[in-house]
């Protein structure tokens, strides 16, 4: 279900300097998909063909990956226990690889636990589950249980999949590939605050992206310069409920079954790969800065990534690979610290 809607300034990332004097104006398209407002800006190549094909691709992916939508491959997998889809098999294979790399901090089979908390499809029935319910749901968690044989995927009894932590990164990568096929070398794909930068600006300089302050929509944590990168943000403020004065959010630590308690409020991951950027943002939210640094070290050769993380104590940590490209906002009121 995609419809064109009036462009709204809903993005988690403000884009700075896209409409500079002298820079050519982009062809733009706003798309509503994956429960979010997406904004596509294309600066060169076959711009209108690129936008048209990207829009239908986003609609196709929504219909493939939305576990709440009857007829989607994920819905079929969760309800029938099996589905045949080459594309879903490839995405689940990548997800299993990320689950292994993160020690299970990112794991799409967390779905039954999400459902207990009321963060399942439809949602709304929020409640704090009992310990024995959580233990039972956790016993079905683990990407290792998902059986992938070519394009045939099957789930053992009780295992359920939720791709909410990786779908937008995958969608961003697909749109980027479609743009490239249309000769686009300069574009911004903003999937509701999760951004994919294609190339740099028309004048050859890098894009400048302001990382939003989750506590103040008028402010930002800093400005990041980048090209050919995904910048994906996970935040515990995005979905939550309160019970007896305690806040419970939607990023679950698969080690405990409880909302992640890493002390991180918002995590932006910078990475060249879309699905990894998205899944790593979720994983870093679970792991916290120290374990995330160890993960960065472990992936240094294969999937290098950097991150910017805001703690509940008001410190913005950013990794040393961003030392030259991330400029802290001295007026944000936060403390800043470089991590290495």
Is residue 286 a contact point for ligand AMP (CB under 6 A)? yes
* Strands ordered across the beta sheet of 216-226: 13-16, 207-213, 216-226, 326-328
Residue 108 partner contact from ligand AMP, Mg ion, none using kind-dependent CB cut-offs of 5 to 8 Å:
ligand AMP
Residue 292 within binding range of ligand AMP, rule CB under 6 A: no
Q: Which of 221, 318, 312 is nearest to 259 (CA)?
A: 312
* CA terminus-to-terminus distance, the chain: 44
Reported residue count of the chain is 340
With CB under 5 A as the contact rule, the residue among 72, 282, 311, 325 that binds Mg ion is: 282
The DSSP string of 79-140 is: HHSEEE-HHHHHHHHHHHHHHHHTTTSS-GGGHHHHHHHT-SSS-----PPPHHHHHHHHTT
Instruction: Using the minimum distance from each CB to ligand AMP, give the nearer residue, 36 or 202.
Output: 36
Q: Which is nearer to ligand AMP, 42 or 101 (CB)?
A: 101
Site string for Mg ion, 242-281 (x = CB under 5 A): ------------------------------------x--x
Among 278, 293, 306, 311, binds ligand AMP (CB under 6 A): 278
Q: Specify whether the CB–CB gap between 58 and 31 falls below 8 A.
A: yes
Nearer to Mg ion, 234 or 266 (CB): 234
When binding is defined by CB under 6 A, the residue of 234, 262, 289, 319 that contacts ligand AMP is 234
* Least distance in angstroms from the C-beta of 307 to Mg ion: 12
For residue 284, the 8-state DSSP code is: H
> Where do contacts with Mg ion occur on this chain (CB under 5 A)?
165, 234, 278, 281-282
């Amino acid at each position: 279900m995609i419809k064109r809607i009036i462009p709204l300034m809903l993005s988690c990332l403000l884009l700075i300097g896209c409409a500079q004097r002298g820079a050519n104006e982009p062809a733009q398209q706003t798309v509503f998909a994956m429960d979010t407002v997406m904004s596509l800006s294309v600066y060169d190549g076959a711009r209108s063909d690129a936008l048209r094909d990207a829009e239908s691709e986003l609609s196709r992916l929504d219909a493939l990956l939305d576990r709440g939508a009857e007829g989607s491959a994920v819905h079929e997998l969760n309800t029938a226990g099996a589905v045949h889809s080459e594309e879903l098999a490839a995405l689940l294979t990548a997800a299993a690889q990320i689950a292994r790399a993160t020690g299970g901090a990112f794991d799409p089979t967390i779905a039954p636990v999400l459902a207990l908390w009321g963060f399942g499809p439809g949602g709304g029935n929020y409640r704090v589950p009992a310990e024995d319910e959580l233990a039972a749901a956790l016993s079905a968690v683990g990407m290792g249980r998902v059986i992938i044989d070519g394009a045939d995927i099957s789930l053992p009894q009780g295992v359920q999949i939720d791709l909410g932590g990786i779908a937008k990164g995958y969608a961003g990568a697909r749109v980027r590939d479609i743009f490239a096929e249309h000769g686009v070398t300069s574009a911004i794909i903003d999937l509701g605050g999760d951004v994919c930068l294609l190339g740099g600006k028309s004048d050859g300089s890098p894009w400048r992206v302001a990382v939003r302050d989750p506590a103040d929509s008028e402010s930002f944590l800093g400005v990041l310069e980048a090209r050919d990168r995904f910048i994906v943000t996970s935040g515990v403020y995005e979905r939550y409920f309160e019970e007896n004065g305690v806040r419970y959010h939607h990023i679950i630590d698969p080690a405990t079954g409880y909302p992640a308690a890493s002390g991180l409020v918002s995590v932006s991951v910078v990475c060249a790969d879309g699905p990894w950027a998205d899944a790593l943002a979720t994983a870093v939210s679970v792991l916290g800065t120290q374990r995330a640094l160890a993960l960065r070290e472990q992936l240094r050769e294969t999937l290098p990534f950097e991150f910017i993380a805001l703690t509940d104590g008001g410190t913005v940590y950013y990794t040393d690979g961003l030392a030259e490209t991330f400029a802290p906002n001295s007026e944000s009121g936060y403390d800043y610290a470089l991590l290495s």
